Amino acid sequence: MPKSCSARGCSNHHMMKEKKVSFFRFPNPVKRPDRRSQWISACQRLNPDGSEWLPVSKYVYICSEHFVTGRPVDETSHVDYVPTVFSNARQMSSSSGSQNKKRRRPGEDRTSELRNQEKLKDATYEVAEILISLAMMNDTAMTSSSSSPSNPIVEQTDPKSVLNVY
């Protein structure tokens, strides 16, 4: 099972090669509900609606970087009974996980993506038109100074045909 840290703003995961990080499973909700709730509060995560994040799986971890000694301690008076080392990283919702990437679901509205593609296509056509007009000016200058054959690109004035993009 892949492991990644559940603390707000922490992107540590088990595949990291640049640093050695250990992962510790959250306390059992049946055997240690008080300690588990303290760990959840310490993680400082919120759901997208602003409510407190609650782990839905038993495979929820926090990394060693959030403990002073690098690991949790069972003694209630010890500083590492609850994770206490956190940076002031940006707020992360539970739906985004440690990576803040949006994944599109099949059939999800792609209107803005298609609109951006159309804008890019229009800009490409504008560039092609400019290049054609420059080639025409260059061809006009060349033909007035010598009798060389005309430029085949200039003869095709439709930018779509020049770019072979439809």
Instruction: Please give the DSSP secondary-structure letter assigned to residue 146.
Output: S
Q: Are 81 and 75 in contact (CB under 8 A)?
A: yes
The predicted-structure confidence for 67-97, as pLDDT tens digits, reads as follows 899 899 998 889 889 998 877 544 343 444 4
User: Average pLDDT in the 122-130 region?
Assistant: 78
- Cα distance between residue 153 and residue 160, in whole Å: 12
Chain centroid to CA 159: 35
- Cα distance between residue 96 and residue 117, in whole Å: 26
Q: What is the DSSP string of 53-103?
A: P---SS--EEEGGGSSSSS--S-TTSGGGS------PPP-BTTTTTS----
User: Per-residue confidence at 128, pLDDT binned at 50, 70, 90?
Assistant: confident
User: Per-residue confidence at 31, pLDDT binned at 50, 70, 90?
Assistant: very high
- Cα distance between residue 159 and residue 127, in whole Å: 9
**Is 11's pLDDT higher than 60?**
yes
User: Per-residue confidence at 125, pLDDT binned at 50, 70, 90?
Assistant: confident
- Cα distance between residue 24 and residue 22, in whole Å: 7
61 closest CA partner among 25, 7, 20: 25
User: Per-residue confidence at 126, pLDDT binned at 50, 70, 90?
Assistant: confident
The predicted-structure confidence for 138-147, as pLDDT tens digits, reads as follows 777 666 665 5
- Cα distance between residue 78 and residue 56, in whole Å: 27
Predicted pLDDT of residue 94: 41
User: Average pLDDT in the 107-114 region?
Assistant: 61
- Model's pTM, two decimal places? 0.50
The burial class, CB within 10 Å (0-12 / 13-18 / 19+), for 116 is exposed
Q: Which two tokens stand for residue 38?
A: 């303290």
**Is 157's pLDDT higher than 80?**
no
